[in-house]
Structure 1
């Protein structure tokens, strides 16, 4: 992986962290741990027994993990504290007779909000309780949050990282749009749910100004520049398909952009690049290859340049 690949991998992982609650977060954690430690065993709930206060463990080292993935850590921290104390005592009672518990880790999806002052104080309170529980039982304890899980991810090899985050867009790829792949992408996008119905002509802002206005990184800028080389090919494609299809795809992209704004707020880290990756991932059929991914980005670059996948209304005022 080069520097761009690692950056895009991180953006994709951040999107997974922000969208993973409950079981989805537990599945994400156990997947990373399964790659990180070959002896890691995930514990699945079994009827009335549940998971017996243990979501995963490494038997040889006596390391045990309990996972908590609330929708909003800011409003759920007290629940996390209550769950921690209950799970810790339950783990000791249910497992210590069978195995030696050396370490206990509480894994919390704080969605990278541990850096915010109000959340940071609560996270520190959670850490203090974990420390005191460990001291009373003479067990090493620790708290794992999103940034720690990200560090674990990037200790994996490239294939395992891709298995976790998905196909990574390669910035060094040479874009040459494949019409067969473009057809597949368009059919997938057409099947996405519709919300907006916009019929006005496409507005064409200055491409570079639009990138700057939307706070897109240099890495995403390079991708858009490379994909935009194929603007004429995509335009020719729509010329033979008709304006109806062109407008339908535009409406779908606008829907995806509005959806990304609802899910990814401006006060979140890398929000604009994360929105770009969100749209890209939603626009691709499942199990896509590099050619499909490139065709998707060529289509995105076409609409980025000619309409409002990203913001344009202020640019209109600036240019007057």
Structure 2
């Protein structure tokens, strides 16, 4: 899918997630995971055994999934459901999984602060096993990996191929972009770009224009760290980074041109409509941040350095 098709699919996906509850949501999740993972095993209830604390199991990476998709989200009900599934899994599936993934359908993104406490308590309960949360953002990132035919099948509608204009690309970044635009006039740039990033710039053979934009933006990328340090949503930063990696890998399948890759990432952040210079600057800072984290573009091999002038 191209950029505009992906935006259309995202809007439909968002609506679908809002409308799916209970068993229909669980079936959607099974279809999504099965399309992407040959080793995914959906689990149905059976007599007195029930589902033994699992709705689905990824065999290779030993992840057990439990779905929770009520029509309204309540903290006490969430706590009860989580501990019920987790206790059953520990009692009946001990030694069969390394990660317990709780999958939920809240389309608002993020989790309630009290739910984050519940998850932290559950994590402490089962160490060294891991608790993972699979919400809207994670589900969308998995959906992005589908081919168009499979995506249309899951959405239940065709994805149009006509060119459209959208004003925001990655909607989950909108609060960050707004804060960056507000900080532009007062932000103090860092003194210099770390050498490792200079080497990465050289290794990816960025054009002069992209290089100039990136170097300027890298001096303000600390603002993105400040933003994520100040929010309480569980794993938000890592989820956004994962989305950038998935999208960049898909861009690389269509082009190796550094300028086109940069433009694709920019559209991913702000959309393909005309935007203000301040918005373009904010997008560059976000891309620079994930460039610095090595989520986008290639990392030079260990020991690599640019050739010096005069070398053959």
User: Normalising to structure 1: TM-score of the pair?
Assistant: 0.48
Higher helix share: 1
User: Normalising to structure 2: TM-score of the pair?
Assistant: 0.50
- Bigger radius of gyration among the two: 1
